[in-house]
């Protein structure tokens, strides 16, 4: 007999194998490893929630050829849930003639509970009373709606019909990417689906009461669109409105902040923002404005402190000018022709990054000599 209430975990876009060149090696290595660890956490959650199945709506892998080690580690991470996993190929891991899925099977003895939806059709899970209607990508990109087939797919009686697809729901995201792998917004209704589990969008997004994007469980970009979650979907019976619960499973938080720096108060604001960041923060700072020498020195210290605090830091400061005050220049005893060079570079720095860097180097050197002379 089927259980009273069907409980699913809906996830997508694991992007296993993705690398992060924008960060330093060590930082990036952690980010890559964490994606597999988060899958383990997700399986753990499924076990804890006694889920009937875990549906992964595409882009399990970031690429078609991953190392054997990665295959093994992912398989191992998925041992945390012994129930059925239904894995759908997305655009990154499309079910091509020769694909990452075949390789995975070849390299690793996979357990029975891993179901690969490599062909369009229904994966029937009678124990769960669940029929999963799958629309896998068998090419990297298609221009027609693969889920259209759901409308005519028959399932065994008394099954809860759940669609599993990867692509762009038309008219929702307003992005150029919509053109590829389109999905009709009313697919759930048209195909009499109890729930449509979608992947491709990396944030959690509700299309309607039956159609959701779960988003990626582990964030991988600076975009504030509720990533790092997995959806728990409860369906009491065929035709019933599903209850969807969001669970945060992501480890790292990707934060991007801009600061306009001009006066000491601005630096204080930056300093106090540090409280929100910790070892799990992947931080991008965009700094602009103009600072005098003292401000610059203080900023340097703050940056060091932030760097020490967060997991990874990227700073974009091309828009930040160094404007030594007259007092700065007097303090540095930068007179005569040195003062002339400073003026010249100060004029040029907005247009020429080399001059900006030269100015910084010159002032830093003067300050250092000043400090030596003072000591």
Partner 1 sequence: MRLRRLAVSDLRRFRETFELVDLDPGLNLVTGPNESGKSTLVRALQAAFFERHSTTSVTDLRPRDDPGAMPEVALEFEHGGRRYRLTKRFLKKTMCHLEIDGESLEGQAAEERLRDLLGFSFPGKGASQPRHWGIPGLLWIIQGEGQELEQPIRHAREFLRESLGEGFDELAASRGDSLIRSIGSERSELLTKKGNPRGDLQKLEKELAAAREERDGLRERVARYCQSVDRLEQLRREWRRQEETPPWEAAEKKRDQAIRRLDQVEQQQKALAGRQKELESARGERQAIQASLERRRQERDRLADLERNIADLDRCLESTGQTVARLETALEDTRRRLAQAEARRDQVQDARRYVELEERIRDLQTGLQQDEKNLARAREQQKELARLERQLAEGAVDPARVQALEEAETRLSHLRIREESVATRIRYRLLDDRELRLGEETLTGEGETTLIESARLELPGIGELAIEPGGQDLASVAADLRQVQREHEDRLRELGVASLAEARRRLEERKDAENALELARRRLGDLAPRGIESLAADLEGRQSRLANLRTERERLPEPPKDLPPEAEVRETCEHLQTELERFRSRLSEAREERSARHAERERAVGDYQELQARLEDPESRRQAEAAESRSQALEKGIQELETAIREQAAAIDAAQPDILRQDIERFGATAENERKRQQERRGEIDRLEGELGAEGVAGLEEDLAETEARAERLERRHASLDLRAQALDRLLTRLEARRSAMVEQLQAPLRRRVEHYLRLLFPEAELRIDESFEPTQLIREGTADVNFEALSFGAREQVGVILRLAYADALKEAGRPTLIVLDDALVHADEARRQAMQRVLFDAASRHQLLMFTCHPANWRELGVPERPLPAVSP
Contact residues for partner 1, defined by CB under 8 A: 17-25, 28, 62-70, 96-99, 102-103, 106-107, 332-338, 340-341, 344-345, 353-355, 357-358, 360-362, 365-366, 369
Smallest gap from residue 208 Cβ to partner 1 (A) = 36
Smallest gap from residue 98 Cβ to partner 1 (A) = 4
Closest CB to partner 1 among residues 69, 351 = 69
Smallest gap from residue 333 Cβ to partner 1 (A) = 6
Q: In whole angstroms, how large is the CA radius of gyration of the chain?
A: 27
Which of 253, 209, 204 minimizes the C-alpha distance to 11? 204
Tokens of 27: 């930082």
CA–CA distance, 360 with 339 (Å, rounded to integer): 14
3-state secondary structure of 58: coil
Residue 359's Cβ-count burial label (10 Å; 0-12, 13-18, 19+) is: buried
Smallest gap from residue 4 Cβ to partner 1 (A) = 43
Which of 168, 122, 130 minimizes the C-alpha distance to 13? 168
Helix or strand holding residue 318 (H, E): strand 312-322
Tokens of 195: 């729930």
Closest CB to partner 1 among residues 48, 340 = 340
Closest CB to partner 1 among residues 113, 256 = 256
Smallest gap from residue 213 Cβ to partner 1 (A) = 24
Smallest gap from residue 317 Cβ to partner 1 (A) = 12
Smallest gap from residue 60 Cβ to partner 1 (A) = 14
Phi, psi values for residue 92, rounded to 5°: -75, -30
Closest CB to partner 1 among residues 63, 184 = 63
Phi, psi values for residue 256, rounded to 5°: -125, 125
Specify the length of the chain in residues.
375
| Residue tagged 């709506």 (tokens) | 57
CA dihedral (170, 99, 123, 113) in degrees, to 10, reads -130
Which of 92, 99, 9 minimizes the C-alpha distance to 56? 9
Closest CB to partner 1 among residues 231, 345 = 345
CB distance 11 to 87 below 8 Å: no
Phi, psi values for residue 50, rounded to 5°: 55, 50
Smallest gap from residue 223 Cβ to partner 1 (A) = 19
Closest CB to partner 1 among residues 18, 161 = 18
- Distance spanning both ends of the chain, measured CA to CA: 85
CA dihedral sign of residues 148, 151, 155, 160: positive
Closest CB to partner 1 among residues 106, 279 = 106
Smallest gap from residue 143 Cβ to partner 1 (A) = 17
Closest CB to partner 1 among residues 142, 172 = 142
Closest CB to partner 1 among residues 262, 360 = 360
């Amino acid at each position: 007999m089927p259980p009273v209430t069907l409980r699913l975990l809906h996830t997508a876009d694991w992007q296993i194998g993705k690398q992060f060149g924008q960060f330093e090696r060590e930082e990036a290595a952690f980010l890559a490893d964490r994606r597999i660890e988060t899958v383990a956490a997700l399986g753990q959650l499924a076990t804890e929630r006694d889920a009937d199945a875990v549906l992964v709506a595409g882009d399990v892998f970031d690429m078609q050829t991953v190392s054997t080690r990665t295959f093994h580690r992912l398989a191992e991470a998925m041992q945390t849930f012994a129930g059925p996993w239904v894995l759908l190929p997305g655009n990154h891991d499309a079910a091509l003639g020769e694909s990452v899925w075949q390789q995975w099977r070849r390299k690793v003895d996979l357990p029975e509970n891993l179901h690969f939806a490599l062909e369009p059709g229904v994966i029937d899970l009678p124990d769960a009373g669940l029929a999963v209607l799958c629309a896998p990508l068998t090419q990297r990109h298609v221009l027609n709606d693969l889920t259209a087939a759901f409308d005519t797919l028959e399932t065994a009686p008394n099954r809860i019909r759940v669609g599993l697809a990867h692509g762009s729901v038309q008219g929702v995201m307003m992005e150029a990417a919509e053109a590829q792998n389109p999905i009709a917004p009313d697919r759930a209704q048209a195909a009499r689906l109890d729930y449509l589990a979608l992947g491709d969008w990396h944030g959690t997004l509700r299309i309607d009461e039956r159609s959701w994007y779960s988003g990626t469980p582990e964030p991988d970009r600076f975009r504030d669109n509720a990533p790092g979650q997995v959806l728990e979907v409860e369906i009491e019976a065929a035709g019933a409105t599903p209850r969807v619960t969001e669970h945060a499973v992501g480890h790292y938080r990707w934060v991007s902040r801009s600061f306009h720096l001009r006066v000491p108060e601005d630096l204080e604001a930056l300093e106090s923002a540090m409280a929100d960041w910790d070892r799990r923060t992947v931080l991008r700072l965009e700094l602009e404005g103009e600072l005098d020498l003292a401000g610059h020195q203080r900023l340097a210290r703050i940056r060091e402190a932030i760097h020490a605090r967060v997991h990874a830091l990227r700073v974009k400061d091309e828009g930040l000018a160094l404007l030594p005050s007259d007092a700065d220049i007097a303090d540095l005893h930068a007179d005569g022709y040195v003062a002339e060079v400073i003026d010249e570079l100060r004029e040029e720095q907005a247009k020429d990054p080399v001059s900006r860097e030269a100015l910084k180097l010159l002032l830093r050197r003067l300050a250092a000599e000043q400090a030596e002379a003072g000591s």
